[in-house]
């Protein structure tokens, strides 16, 4: 006679193996550009890094050099207008923050 607990365990294990790739795909999904809100320069994290929507506004910042924008920053993701520093938001390509690093 087959133990019912063993049968239940095997059935649940197989079900878990089938569902696992679906769950992993949902967790790994990145939001599309339209789903990301623009970063508000007044948000605490934006203010902490001196984020501005127009790099010309950062002219007086000691870390800013002419020509630095989100568009030519290492952390900018052109396809989503996202930023690795602010992963839940889009940033304006003409923006700037003090985390700016040259893209290679």
> Is there a contact between 101 and 75 (Cβ–Cβ < 8 Å)?
yes
What number does CATH give the domain 32-104? Answer: 4.10.490.10
34-83: pLDDT as tens digits: 689 999 999 999 999 999 999 999 999 999 999 999 999 999 999 999 99
Total residue count of the chain as it appears in this document: 104
27-46: pLDDT as tens digits: 555 555 568 999 999 999 99
Q: Which of 71, 102, 97, 72 is nearest to 86 (CA)?
A: 97
| pLDDT given at position 35 | 82
| pLDDT given at position 88 | 93
Give the max Cα distance, the chain. Answer: 81
Global pTM? Answer: 0.67
């Amino acid at each position: 006679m087959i133990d019912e607990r063993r049968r239940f365990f095997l059935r649940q294990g197989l079900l878990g193996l089938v569902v696992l790739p679906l769950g992993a795909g949902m967790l790994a999904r990145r939001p599309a550009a339209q789903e990301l809100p623009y970063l508000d320069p007044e948000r605490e994290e934006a203010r902490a890094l001196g984020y501005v929507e127009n790099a010309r506004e950062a002219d007086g910042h000691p870390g800013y050099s002419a020509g630095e924008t989100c568009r030519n920053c290492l952390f900018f993701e052109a396809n989503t207008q996202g930023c690795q520093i602010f992963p839940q938001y889009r940033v304006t390509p003409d923006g700037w923050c003090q985390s700016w690093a040259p893209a290679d």
